[in-house]
Amino acid sequence: MWDEFRPLLERIEGAGTSPADSAVTAAIEKFDSEHVLAAWNKALERKQADPEGAITMARTLLETMCKHILDERDVSYGESPDLPELYRLTSKALNLAPSQHTEGVFRQILGGCQSVVEGLGALRNKLSDAHGTGKRAVKPAARHAELAVNLSGALALYLLATLEATGQTPSGQ
């Protein structure tokens, strides 16, 4: 009987987690920012039960990460920049802007990162709990939240790895 239920139990026990969750968590804990860690943990917690909230937190994670990195680098970002602008400033500060590279494949991948950031911002505006909804509102599925959280986590991890590789030691808050 155990063998028949094993796949179901393993699926239930592992529901809502992905292999990268622990790697991103470890990197963010090392970064030592309570705000970044709080955004990541909320995104993880909400993926299955509250996809709209998870999408909001995925965007918040990137926004908070970018602001902390820009603060580390003493780069001004104004009073209310949008996420694509914050990411543009952050990528430039970390030498990750496509325009800072000549190799085509790097330009393509780094441009794709910018597109992901823009897409996460748009997804948050359309499918998250950040705005009121009308009668015909589209509700995101858990898989949409999973994608948004995993993308933001991967980008956050890459930004942190790049910050560390440049010799900058994050001071946390």
Find the CATH number of the domain harbouring 51: 1.20.120
User: In this prediction, what percent of the chain has a pLDDT beyond 90?
Assistant: 63
Q: Is residue 50 part of a domain?
A: yes
Is residue 28 packed enough to be buried (19+ CB in 10 Å), middle (13-18) or exposed (0-12)?
buried
Evaluate if residue 10 carries a pLDDT over 50: no
Q: Is residue 11 part of a domain?
A: no
Q: Is residue 3 part of a domain?
A: no
Q: Is residue 83 part of a domain?
A: yes
Q: What is the pLDDT of residue 165?
A: 93
Pairwise CA distance, residues 90 & 80, whole Å: 15
Q: Is residue 8 part of a domain?
A: no
Pairwise CA distance, residues 76 & 92, whole Å: 12
Report yes or no on whether pTM surpasses 0.75. Answer: yes
Sign of torsion over alpha carbons 116, 49, 39, 153: negative
Domain containing 100: what range?
Answer: 30-165
Average pLDDT over residues 54-79: 95
Convert the pLDDT of each residue in 112-144 to its tens digit. Answer: 999 999 999 888 777 655 556 666 667 889 999
Pairwise CA distance, residues 110 & 155, whole Å: 11
Kind and range of the H or E run holding 22:
helix 20-31
Average pLDDT over residues 101-121: 95
Evaluate if residue 30 carries a pLDDT over 50: yes
Q: What is the pLDDT of residue 172?
A: 45
Q: Is residue 47 part of a domain?
A: yes
Q: Is residue 23 part of a domain?
A: no
Q: Is residue 5 part of a domain?
A: no
* Cβ atoms 43, 149 nearer than 8 A: yes
Domain count, the chain: 1
Pairwise CA distance, residues 161 & 173, whole Å: 18
Evaluate if residue 80 carries a pLDDT over 80: yes
13 confidence band (pLDDT: 50, 70, 90): very low
